Structure 1
Amino acid sequence: MSRTSVLTDGQWARIQPLLPSSTGRRGRPFRDDRRVVEGIIYRYRCGIAWRDVPAEFGPWQTIWKRHRRYSGDGTWDSILAKLLTIADSRGEVDWSVSVDSTVNRAHQHGTNLPRATGVGSNYMNLFAEPDDHAIGRSRGGLSTKIHALVDGKGRPLVLLVAPGQGGDAPMFPHLMNQLKINRAGPGRPRTRPDRVRGDKAYSSRAIRTSLRDRGIVAVIPQPSDQIGHRKRRGSTGGRPPAFDKEDYKARNVVERNFNTFKQWRALATRSDKLALTYRGGAVLRAISIWLTALGDTP
């Protein structure tokens, strides 16, 4: 397989029927679907400008427009959802999930659109562009955060993007609300993991209460200031929350997931102007990870 052939025949056979041109779409069918999809993957993997995508993948305008369309109409998300259904039906999804975020520096080419201050921006509508394009100013400059919920083996389940200066805890309920894996047969989608592992940024009363109410084990350490507040209150401070130190060691899978994501250079440094297409690239990376996990055998 050449360097520019980025999908195996088995991987393409899995996703090809799920593309709009193969599912009864009205109008003239898309041409060269595989070549265009591989061109999108090649661009994100190499971190090049859209105009620099090799001509063998077709016109760069077609590649960009197709990615913009698939990011905005939910095609990438529907493909990921289907792969997760297959994986769960095989028992390959580990429901001991981990949560975290990673900050990615925004390139100057991705920061030259007018932006609002972020007030009132909606990052939870996955297929609408937020007013600030999910770009904010953190210590390292203009940046974007990818918030991820991964399974116990570090494979992505949910991905959201937000400005780099935003906190992790406020995004947690939105990540959990997006966790939904459909059954291969009858039955409601599964939305409740067995446990959630998170670092100290997720240690809040609201998060612990919501997890406890749903019967989900919280494996989240307390930061030192919360421990101090509880001790100063004496007997009225209550008991410390349960924390499984050994189980928490497995949280490193989410960090390894981010390392895998950033092997695609256009995700490690954001040059996309639109949050919609940047998140679409992240979802496409998740698709590639699950395609590898599922293998070529149907």
Structure 2
Amino acid sequence: MPNSSGRSGRPFNDHRLTTEGIIYRYRAGIPWRDLPPHFGAWQSVWKRHRRYSLDGTWDRTLAALLTRADAAGLINWEVSVDSTVNRAHQHGTNLPRHTGGPSNHKNLLTEPEDHAIGRSRGGLTTKIHALVDGNKRPLVLLLGPGQGGDAPMFENLMEALAVEREGPGRARTRPARAMADKAYSSRAIRSYLRGRGIQCVIPEKDDQKANRQRKGSAGGRPVTYDKEAYKRRNVVERSFNTLKEWRSLATGYDKMALTYRSAAVLHAVVIWSAALEDTP
């Protein structure tokens, strides 16, 4: 964590107490103004979260924990990908936004013009796209508008996966196996995984199968995948269940996508910190 604010003035409040205040707010789903005074002035707690969201502190903290976890053998490199739709609260949707753009927000530290809020069947919603390991622990978290497709985000999630090593050597970016549901069934994704030497465990859509069979030999070979491994894909769904225990993640109260996503990253920080603490 940063030692100071980098500017002259009053020093930072205690990191642990302030971080606990941020976590308390997101777990309880309360307005920042209702934060118990035990954590200090709510403005200070909010500003700290805002600062660490903008400068990438939470992302660097998660990256450091993943490095330690990989060295301890805690990361299961059988990854699963999916997204979950979260309703945006009216208090988080009153900023001007330009919708209709692409949903693949690549830059983690740049606020998207639509603030990752879009209109879907559930109204104004935001999608959290996640890549988790085989133990349902988050490795990569990205945001997109609620109406955005899942498949366009797949490569962004995979490209954002980079776990640095404690010693010499390149960061690990290639899992042994990537699993996803039929929403990610496309030739582009299969070709991408094949080119990187990653086993693809994605079933084929029924309409894609029918089109291939209709073409006969010109339709190409049937899609094959490890059905036993696919039974373990539910780890990503279970990961979302854990994430939504924080009420301000289950419902988006944040106006800015940066702070909302960083809260999800902080949730991952808590998970990996607990995993490392339990390691003998």
Q: What TM-score range do you get, normalising by the shorter chain?
A: over 0.9
Alpha-carbon separation, structure 2, partners of 1:109 and 1:156? 28
Give CA-to-partner distance per residue, 1:128-179, whole Å, 9 cap, x none.
1111100000000000000000001110000001100000000011111100
Matches of 1:27 and 1:21, distance apart in 2: 13
Q: How far apart are 1:280 and its partner, in Å?
A: 0.7
Q: Is the 8 A contact 1:83 1:287 kept in 2?
A: yes
| d(CA) in 2 for partners of 1:297, 1:218 | 31
Question: Any residues of structure 2 matched to 1:15-30 within 5 Å, and which?
Answer: 19-21=1-3, 25=6, 27=8, 29-30=11-12
Q: Does 1:284 align with 2:231?
A: no
Structure 1 partner of 2:251: 269
TM-score between the two structures when normalised by the length of structure 2: 0.96
Stretch deviating more after TM superposition (115-124 or 167-176): 115-124
Conservation of the 8 A alpha-carbon contact between 2:128 and 2:142: yes
Q: Deviations over 1:5-64 (max 9, x none)?
A: xxxxxxxxxxxxxx1127x95645412222111100000010100111101100110011
Number of the residue aligned with 1:212: 194
- From the superposition, tell whether residues 120 and 297 of structure 1 become closer, same or farther in structure 2 (CA, over 3 Å): closer
Q: Which residue of 2 aligns with 1:102?
A: 84
Q: Name the residue aligned to 2:217.
A: 235
Q: Distance in 2 between matches of 1:57 and 1:31?
A: 9
Q: Which shows bigger deviation, 217-226 or 233-242?
A: 233-242
Is 2:75 aligned against 1:88? Answer: no
The total of aligned residue pairs comes to 279
1:50 maps to 2:26: no
| Uncovered stretches (5+) of structure 1, i.e. residues with no partner | 1-18
1:16 corresponds to which residue?
none
- The match for 1:245 is 227
Matched, 1:183 2:165: yes
Normalised by the length of structure 1, the TM-score is 0.91
> 1:272–1:278: 8 Å Cα contact kept in structure 2?
yes
User: RMSD between aligned alpha carbons?
Assistant: 1.5
Is the 8 Å Cα contact of residues 104 and 152 (structure 2) preserved in structure 1? Answer: no
Q: CA deviation at 1:119?
A: 2.3
- The alignment status of 1:38 with 2:31, answered yes or no, reads no
Q: Is the 8 A contact 1:100 1:148 kept in 2?
A: yes
* Equivalent residues of 1:211, 1:217 under 8 A apart: yes
Stretches (4+) displaced over 6 A: none
Structure-to-structure mapping, 1:102-251, within 5 angstroms: 102-119=84-101, 123-251=105-233
Secondary structure in structure 1 of the residue aligned to 2:30: coil
Percent identical among aligned pairs is 68
Equivalents in 2 of 1:297, 1:256: separation in Å?
A: 22
Partner SS, residue 273 of structure 1:
coil
